[in-house]
C-alpha cells in the first residue's frame, strides 16, 4: 500500500486548448478522472520535449483549476510562463497534442471547516492556483479577498471568470503599469486588520512568501504558502527540492517540497536557512 | 511462439526473480514509488545510502539539468541507520520486496559500524557498500578513488558481517585503473560490484557567474553517462569474468539495459530514469524480456557478457 503520492497516476492526456494570456499560456488538458483527486495547491509533473528530448526531467506546474463537465469530462487548467526550454516546448503544444503527466502531486491548501475571512496573495503566475481555491473557499461560505503582484502588468494573471469568487481584488505592479505601484506586502498589515483576516493563502516567489511570513509573525493570522523549489522528480525520490522546516518537536529538517509541500505553514519554514544547511543533527 | 525468457539472476548467493533494480539514491526507501508499481515486481529495491547518524546533506540548489542528464549534490541526506532499520526495512519486507541496503561512511570504522548493525537484520538480500559517493564533504574521502582505502573498507565490512550476506562494492568511474580497484575489493571480500556511481561534474551559472550547485560539484547521471557505464562494465568483466556486476548508469530503456548486460552486468539498476518516468523500471523490465527473446536467449544469464565472445557471428 502506498503511503506517499497516494492519489498520483501517470497518464497520457490531450491538450484541449492553448491560449496566450498576457505573458503566459493558459493550457487546458483533458485528464478524465484525475480531477476527482485534485485539490487546490496540488501540482502536476509533465514530460517535455518528446521521446528524443535531451530534457530528461519532468517540469512541475501548479494546477490552476479543474472542472468536471458533461461536455469535456475532467479538465485541468495550467498557467505556464514560457521561461526555459521545457516550458517553451509545453507552450508550443497545440490542441490535440498528447502529454505524459503525473498528477495530482503534493500537499493541498487546508480548507477551513467554518466560514473565515481569507486573503489570497499571488505573485506573477503564482496567482494561478488561487482562483480555484477562491471558488472552493467561497462555496464554504468564506469571504475571499485577493492581492496580486508582479513586476509589470503583463505578468498579472487575473482572468475575468476567476474574479467572480473574490470579494475584492487589488493589483500591484513594481513599474506601476497596472494597479497600484509597489508590492503586495506594502499595506498588508493594514488590510489584515481592516478586513479581520484569519488565514492568508499565498503562492509566488520565495522572497514574497518570506516577506509575508515575517509581516504576519506578530499577528494571529495563519499563513499557508505554496513554495517553489527546483525539482527533478516531483514524487519524493530525488531529494533535490528540500527546504529547512521546523517540525513540531522544534528540530529543523530538510523536507521535500514535492511531498511535504508545496503547501506549507509559512511559519514553519526556516526562510533564513534556505540555501544553507541547519546545524548538524 | 517463443518461450518466456528466464529473467532470474544472482549476485553472490542472493537470487532475484528479475534483473532490474532501483539504483541507490534514486528511489529513497521505496515508499514513494510503491504508488506506481508493486515493489515486489522488480529484482530488488536498493535503498538510499545510509550513514550511522541522521544527516541534512548539502544546501540547495542540489540539482541542475544538463543535456541528456542531470547533476546532483544531495550529500547523503538521510535518517541514520537506526531509524532506517526500524522504519524503512520492515515496511519494504512487508511489501515482499527484496532489499539491498546501501551503506556509506566517512571513515573505514563507520562502514564496519554500519555492517555490525546490519548483521542482526533478517530478510535483506545483500549490502551495497557505497565507497564512491562524490558528494561527501571532502572529495579526498572518496574511498573508491584509492585502491588501498577501497580494500580496507571492504575488508572491514567482510570481517564484521561474516560470510553470509553478499557484499556489493559500488565503485566510481572517475579513476585511471578501474579493473585494479575492482580486483582489490574482490580480494578483500566483495562478492559483486556495482558499476558505476555518478561521474563528477560541474555547472556554472552564467548569471551569477559562480558554480550553480550549493555543493559546487555534483554527480552526473542520466543517458549522458551510459557509454561510460558500458565501458566500465566491459573492462571489469573482461578482467574479472567470474565476479557478478550490478550495472547502472543512464539506463532508461530495455535497449540500454541489454547493452549493460551484454557488456557483463548480471543485473541493472535504474536510477535517474525514474525521476522522469515513475514506471521506468517496469517498462525497462518488459522491454528487456522482449529483446532477449527476439535474440534467442532462453535465459538472462546467457546474455551476460555476450559482447565478449570470441570472433564469429
For residues A138 and A171, membership in a common domain is answered with yes
Contact flag B56-A277 (C-beta cutoff 8 Å): yes
| Range from A156-165, B24-33, B297-306 carrying the lowest mean pLDDT | A156-165
- State the residue range of the domain holding B27: 9-308
A123 CA to chain B: closest CA distance, Å? 22
B61 cis-preceded (ω within 30 degrees of 0) = yes
Contact flag A54-B77 (C-beta cutoff 8 Å): no
For residues A121 and A85, membership in a common domain is answered with no
Q: What CATH number does residue A152 fall under?
A: 3.40.50.80
Q: Last residue of some domain: A76, A105, A134?
A: A105
The closest CB to that of A233, out of B53, B54, B275, belongs to B275
Task: Give how far the C-alpha of residue A102 lies from the chain's centroid of Cα atoms, to the nearest Å.
Answer: 16
pLDDT in tens, B3-56: 799 999 999 999 999 999 999 999 998 999 999 999 999 999 999 999 999 999
User: What would the 3-class secondary structure string for chain A be?
Assistant: CCCCCCCCEEEEEEEEEEEEECCEEEEEEECHHHHHHCCCCCEEEECCCCCCCCCCCCEEEECCEEEEECCCEEEEEEEECCCCHHHHHHHCCCCCCEEEEEEEECCCCCCCCCCCEEEEEEEHHHHHHHHHHHHHHHHCCCEEEEEEEECCHHHCCCCHHHHHHCCEEEEEECCCCCCEECCCCCCHHHHHHHCCCCEEEEECCHHHHHHHHHHHCCCCCEEEEECCCCCCCCCCCCCCCEEEEECCCCCEEEEECCCCCCEEEHHHECHHHCCCCCCCC
Residue B2 lies in a domain: no
DSSP A73: E
Residue B1 lies in a domain: no
A231 touches chain B (CB under 8 A): yes
Q: What's the pLDDT at B135?
A: 67
* Percent of chain A residues past pLDDT 90, beyond the cut: 89
Query: From A232, which residue of chain B is nearest by alpha-carbon distance?
Result: B275
Q: What CATH number does residue B154 fall under?
A: 3.20.20.70
Ramachandran angles phi, psi of B137, nearest 5°: -55, -45
Residues of B contacting chain A (CB within 8 angstroms): 25-28, 31-36, 48, 53-63, 65, 67-70, 72, 74, 77, 80, 214, 222-223, 252, 272-279
Contact flag B276-A56 (C-beta cutoff 8 Å): yes
User: d(Cα A26, Cα A105) in Å, to the nearest integer?
Assistant: 20
What strand order describes the sheet that includes A117-123?
A180-181, A168-173, A143-150, A117-123, A199-203, A222-226, A263-265
Contact flag A4-B275 (C-beta cutoff 8 Å): no
Element (DSSP H or E) covering residue B102: strand B99-103
Q: What's the pLDDT at B120?
A: 84
Element (DSSP H or E) covering residue A245: strand A242-246
Contact flag B60-A280 (C-beta cutoff 8 Å): no
Residue B61: list chain A partners with CB under 8 A: 230, 240, 275
Residue A190 lies in a domain: yes
pLDDT in tens, B168-190: 999 999 999 999 999 999 999 99
For residues A268 and A129, membership in a common domain is answered with yes
User: d(Cα B195, Cα B304) in Å, to the nearest integer?
Assistant: 15
For residues A157 and A261, membership in a common domain is answered with yes
B238 CA to chain A: closest CA distance, Å? 32
Q: How high is the mean pLDDT of chain A?
A: 95
Q: What's the pLDDT at A71?
A: 82
State the total domains in chain B: 1
A275 CA to chain B: closest CA distance, Å? 5
B130 CA to chain A: closest CA distance, Å? 17
A229 touches chain B (CB under 8 A): yes
The three cell numbers of residue B92 are 519494504
Q: What angle do CA B89, B95, B98 make, to 5 degrees?
A: 65
Q: What's the pLDDT at B140?
A: 56
Note whether B281 and B270 are within 8 A (CB).
yes
Residue B34: list chain A partners with CB under 8 A: 1-4
For residues A159 and A70, membership in a common domain is answered with no
Residue B67 lies in a domain: yes
User: d(Cα B186, Cα B180) in Å, to the nearest integer?
Assistant: 10
pLDDT in tens, A177-231: 999 999 999 999 999 999 999 999 999 999 999 999 999 999 999 999 999 898 9
Q: Last residue of some domain: A71, A105, A139?
A: A105
Residue A4: list chain B partners with CB under 8 A: 31-32, 34-35
DSSP-H helix ranges across chain B: 81-83, 89-94, 108-119, 147-161, 178-187, 226-239, 254-263, 272-276, 280-294, 300-303
Q: What's the pLDDT at A137?
A: 96
State the total domains in chain A: 2
pLDDT in tens, B67-122: 999 999 999 999 999 999 999 999 999 999 999 999 999 999 999 999 999 998 99
User: d(Cα B103, Cα B105) in Å, to the nearest integer?
Assistant: 7
Q: What's the pLDDT at B312?
A: 74
Q: Regarding predicted confidence, which is higher, A281 or B68?
A: B68
For residues A35 and A143, membership in a common domain is answered with no
The three cell numbers of residue B87 are 522504519
Residue A278 lies in a domain: no
The closest CB to that of B33, out of A100, A237, A253, belongs to A237
- State the residue range of the domain holding A63: 9-105
Query: For this structure, is B133 an active site residue?
Result: yes
User: Interface pTM (ipTM) of the complex?
Assistant: 0.94
Ramachandran angles phi, psi of A81, nearest 5°: -95, 120
Task: Give how far the C-alpha of residue B233 lies from the chain's centroid of Cα atoms, to the nearest Å.
Answer: 12
Find the mean pLDDT for residues A231-253: 94
Q: Last residue of some domain: A79, A105, A131?
A: A105
Note whether B8 and B292 are within 8 A (CB).
no
Residue A280: list chain B partners with CB under 8 A: 56
Ramachandran angles phi, psi of B285, nearest 5°: -60, -45
For residues A125 and A245, membership in a common domain is answered with yes
Find the mean pLDDT for residues B147-160: 95
Nearest in space to B27 (alpha carbons), one of B281, B288, B291, B313: B281
Nearest in space to A58 (alpha carbons), one of B275, B269, B120: B275
User: d(Cα B67, Cα A49) in Å, to the nearest integer?
Assistant: 12
**Nearest-10 crossing angle of helices B147-161, B108-119:** 20
Contact flag A8-B31 (C-beta cutoff 8 Å): no
Residue A112 lies in a domain: no
User: d(Cα B233, Cα B236) in Å, to the nearest integer?
Assistant: 5
Residue of B20, B70, B103, B133 with catalytic role: B133
Task: Give how far the C-alpha of residue B56 lies from the chain's centroid of Cα atoms, to the nearest Å.
Answer: 22
The three cell numbers of residue B271 are 536510477
Residue B58: list chain A partners with CB under 8 A: 277
A52 touches chain B (CB under 8 A): no
Which residue out of B28, B90, B269 would a mutagenesis test of the A interface target, given it has the greatest number of A Cβ atoms within 10 Å?
B28
**Residue owning grid cell 521521446:** A51
Find the mean pLDDT for residues A97-104: 98
User: d(Cα A36, Cα A67) in Å, to the nearest integer?
Assistant: 9
B62 CA to chain A: closest CA distance, Å? 5
Contact flag B57-A275 (C-beta cutoff 8 Å): no
3-class state of residue A172 by DSSP: strand
Contact flag A56-B36 (C-beta cutoff 8 Å): no
For residues A124 and A100, membership in a common domain is answered with no
The CA R_g of chain B, rounded to the nearest whole Å, is 18
pLDDT at A281 over 80: no
Amino acid at each position: 500500500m502506498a503511503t506517499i503520492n497516494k492519489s498520483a497516476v501517470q497518464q497520457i492526456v490531450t491538450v484541449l486548448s492553448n491560449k496566450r494570456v498576457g505573458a503566459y499560456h493558459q493550457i487546458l488538458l483533458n485528464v478524465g478522472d484525475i480531477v476527482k483527486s485534485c485539490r487546490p495547491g496540488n501540482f502536476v509533473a509533465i514530460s517535455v520535449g518528446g521521446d528524443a528530448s535531451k530534457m530528461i526531467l519532468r517540469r512541475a506546474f501548479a494546477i490552476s483549476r479543474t472542472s468536471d463537465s458533461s461536455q469535456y469530462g475532467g479538465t485541468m487548467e495550467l498557467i505556464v510562463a514560457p521561461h526555459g526550454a521545457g516550458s517553451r516546448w509545453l507552450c508550443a503544444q497545440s490542441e490535440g497534442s498528447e502529454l505524459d503527466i503525473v498528477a495530482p502531486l503534493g500537499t493541498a491548501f487546508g480548507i477551513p471547516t467554518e466560514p473565515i475571512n481569507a486573503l489570497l496573495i499571488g505573485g506573477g503566475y503564482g496567482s494561478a492556483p488561487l482562483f480555484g481555491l477562491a471558488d472552493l473557499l467561497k462555496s464554504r461560505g468564506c469571504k475571499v479577498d485577493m492581492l496580486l503582484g508582479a513586476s509589470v502588468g503583463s505578468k498579472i494573471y487575473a482572468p475575468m471568470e476567476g474574479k467572480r469568487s473574490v470579494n475584492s481584488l487589488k493589483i500591484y505592479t513594481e513599474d506601476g503599469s497596472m494597479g497600484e505601484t509597489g508590492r503586495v506586502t506594502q499595506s498588508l498589515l493594514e488590510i489584515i486588520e481592516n478586513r479581520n483576516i484569519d488565514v492568508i493563502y499565498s503562492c509566488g516567489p520565495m522572497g514574497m512568501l518570506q516577506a509575508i511570513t515575517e509581516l504576519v509573525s506578530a499577528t494571529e493570522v495563519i499563513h499557508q504558502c505554496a513554495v517553489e523549489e527546483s525539482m527533478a522528480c516531483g514524487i519524493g525520490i530525488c531529494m533535490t527540492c528540500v527546504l529547512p522546516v521546523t517540525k513540531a518537536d522544534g528540530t529543523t529538517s530538510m523536507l521535500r517540497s514535492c511531498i511535504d509541500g508545496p503547501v506549507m505553514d509559512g511559519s514553519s519554514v526556516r526562510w533564513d536557512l534556505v540555501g544553507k544547511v541547519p546545524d548538524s543533527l | 511462439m517463443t518461450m518466456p525468457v528466464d529473467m532470474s539472476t544472482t549476485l553472490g548467493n542472493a537470487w532475484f526473480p528479475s534483473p532490474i533494480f532501483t539504483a541507490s539514491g534514486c528511489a529513497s526507501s521505496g515508499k514513494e514509488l510503491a504508488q506506481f508499481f508493486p515493489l515486489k515486481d522488480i529484482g530488488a529495491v536498493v535503498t538510499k545510502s545510509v550513514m550511522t547518524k541522521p544527516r541534512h546533506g548539502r544546501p540547495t540548489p542540489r540539482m541542475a539539468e544538463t543535456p541528456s542528464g542531470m547533476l546532483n549534490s544531495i550529500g547523503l541526506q538521510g535518517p541514520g541507520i537506526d531509524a532506517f532499520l526500524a522504519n524503512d526495512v520492515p515496511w519494504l519486507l512487508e511489501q515482499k520486496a527484496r532489499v539491498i541496503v546501501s551503506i556509506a561512511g566517512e571513515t573505514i570504522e563507520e562502514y564496519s559500524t554500519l555492517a555490525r548493525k546490519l548483521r542482526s537484520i533478517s530478510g535483506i538480500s545483500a549490502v551495497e557498500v557505497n565507497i564512491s559517493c562524490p558528494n561527501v564533504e571532502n572529495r579526498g574521502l572518496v574511498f573508491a578513488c584509492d585502491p588501498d582505502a577501497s580494500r580496507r573498507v571492504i575488508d572491514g565490512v567482510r570481517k564484521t558481517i561474516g560470510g553470509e550476506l553478499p557484499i556489493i562494492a559500488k565503485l566510481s568511474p572517475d579513476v585511471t585503473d578501474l579493473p585494479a580497484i575492482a580486483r582489490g575489493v574482490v580480494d578483500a571480500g566483495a562478492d559483486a560490484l556495482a558499476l558505476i556511481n555518478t561521474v563528477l561534474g560541474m555547472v556554472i551559472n552564467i548569471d551569477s557567474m559562480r558554480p550553480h550547485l550549493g555543493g559546487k560539484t555534483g554527480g552526473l547521471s542520466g543517458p549522458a553517462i551510459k557509454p561510460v557505464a558500458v565501458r566500465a562494465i566491459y573492462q571489469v568483466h573482461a578482467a574479472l569474468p567470474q565476479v557478478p556486476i550490478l550495472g547502472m548508469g543512464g539506463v532508461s530503456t530495455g535497449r540500454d539495459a541489454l547493452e549493460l548486460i551484454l557488456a557483463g552486468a548480471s543485473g541493472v539498476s535504474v536510477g535517474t530514469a525514474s525521476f522522469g518516468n515513475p514506471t521506468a523500471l517496469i517498462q525497462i523490465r518488459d522491454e528487456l524480456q522482449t529483446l532477449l527473446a527476439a535474440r534467442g536467449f532462453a535465459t538472462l544469464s546467457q546474455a551476460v557478457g555476450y559482447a565478449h565472445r570470441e570472433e564469429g557471428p
